[in-house]
């Protein structure tokens, strides 16, 4: 029955929603809508993660955000790849940074069961052009690779800068020094995360609210008793989205995908009750079906 409901929900997914600027989803009034963010480049349960096919499937589903992971090749090209190495996701071996783009383009992607497919590793530019005007984008791994400026250039070149977002720490002084020049070009989502924030979480959050006014705050907490949990609802009520990853229990206090697939109210439902408005998931089809049943997603 659940699978039938998901299939029907998919058939009615929006195909023509225009997504050009994350600012357009800034929360207003008593907005109850929950947004769906897909993990690792889209529907990776159906297609290889970070593939163009997974991205297109997420677009067809009607995802609001797609998270992609970016790495740099030996010759400086930017590609989609979660790991620093090629072993898990392709039929290649070794570090991404030891191969040229041409060499990586000769490899094939593996699916979630490690079976080799005919799909190829896409460049970031190829992915951006597929997503242009259709979905919002969360860029990950950029800080590990020290490639923010290169990514920014590609976003500008493809006209997708206002669709794109980057997670940053809750240190406003460091943020201004590192990313301040790009604050009006792309979107930044400050993250509530880590015990070091315990003493001044409210002050640091309010500093970003007054000086940056982001559309979204992210939150990460290992258990449901975390000091971060009671802070999420006030941020929600102040007019900001609250983004949480439900892909692993230690990202979301145990209210994760695995729990939600058995009983959505005990997982995704708890997140929503505590003020979460954007859920990043490995199971966007099931999440969409649940949200639609509650009239919480268009």
What residue ranges do the domains of the chain occupy? 2-72+125-293
CA distances from 215 to 47, 114, 189, 193 (A): 30, 37, 7, 18
pLDDT of residue 11: 45
pLDDT of residue 13: 55
Q: Which two tokens stand for residue 183?
A: 């604050």
pLDDT of residue 199: 79
Chosen CATH of 2-72+125-293 out of 3.20.20.190, 3.40.50.720, 3.40.50.80, 3.40.50.150: 3.20.20.190
pLDDT of residue 4: 43
Q: Which two tokens stand for residue 236?
A: 């929600």
pLDDT of residue 109: 98
| CB contact burial 211-228 (16+ within 10 A = b; e otherwise) | ebebbbbbbbbbeeebeb
pLDDT of residue 121: 98
Find all residues with CB under 8 Å of 169, minimum gap 6, and list them: 175, 190, 191, 193
Looking up tokens 């997670």, which residue turns up?
167
Tens digit of each residue's pLDDT, the chain (298 residues): 444 455 444 444 555 688 999 999 999 877 889 999 999 999 999 999 999 999 999 999 999 999 999 999 999 999 999 999 999 999 999 999 999 999 999 999 999 999 999 999 999 999 999 999 999 999 999 999 999 999 999 999 999 999 999 999 999 999 999 999 999 999 999 999 987 788 789 999 999 999 999 999 999 999 999 999 999 999 999 999 999 999 999 999 999 999 999 999 999 999 999 999 999 999 999 999 999 999 999 8
Looking up tokens 């998931």, which residue turns up?
281
Query: What CA–CA distance (Å, rounded) separates 290 from 229?
Result: 22
Find all residues with CB under 8 Å of 200, minimum gap 6, and list them: none
pLDDT of residue 225: 95
Looking up tokens 């994760």, which residue turns up?
256
DSSP-assigned letter for residue 252 = B
pLDDT of residue 150: 97
Query: What CA–CA distance (Å, rounded) separates 95 from 84?
Result: 6
Query: What CA–CA distance (Å, rounded) separates 218 from 251?
Result: 11
């Amino acid at each position: 029955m659940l699978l039938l409901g998901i299939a029907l929900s998919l058939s009615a997914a929006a195909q023509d929603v225009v997504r050009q600027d994350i600012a357009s989803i800034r929360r207003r009034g008593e907005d109850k809508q929950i947004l769906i963010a897909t993990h690792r480049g889209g529907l990776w349960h159906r297609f290889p993660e970070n593939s163009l096919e997974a991205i297109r499937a997420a677009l067809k589903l009607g995802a609001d955000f797609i998270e992609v992971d970016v790495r740099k090749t030996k010759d400086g090209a930017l590609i989609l790849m979660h790991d620093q190495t090629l072993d898990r996701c392709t039929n290649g071996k070794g570090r991404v940074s030891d191969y040229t783009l041409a060499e990586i383009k000769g490899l094939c992607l593996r699916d979630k069961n490690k079976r080799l497919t005919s799909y190829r590793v896409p460049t970031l530019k190829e992915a951006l052009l597929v997503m242009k005007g259709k979905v919002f984008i969360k860029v990950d791994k950029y800080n590990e690779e020290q490639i923010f400026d290169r990514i920014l250039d590609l976003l500008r070149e493809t006209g997708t800068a206002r669709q794109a977002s980057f997670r940053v720490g809750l240190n406003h002084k460091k943020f201004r020094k590192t990313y301040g020049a790009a604050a009006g070009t792309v979107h930044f989502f400050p993250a509530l995360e880590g015990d070091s924030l315990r003493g001044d979480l409210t002050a640091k959050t309010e500093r970003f609210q007054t000086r940056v006014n982001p559309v979204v705050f992210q939150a990460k907490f290992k258990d449901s008793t975390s000091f971060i949990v009671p802070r999420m609802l006030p941020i929600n009520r102040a007019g900001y989205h609250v983004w949480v990853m439900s892909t692993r229990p230690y990202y979301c206090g145990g209210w994760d995908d695995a729990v939600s697939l058995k009983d959505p109210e005990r997982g995704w439902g708890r997140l929503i009750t505590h003020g979460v408005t954007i859920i990043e998931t490995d199971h966007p089809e099931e999440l969409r079906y649940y949200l639609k049943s509650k009239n919480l997603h268009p």
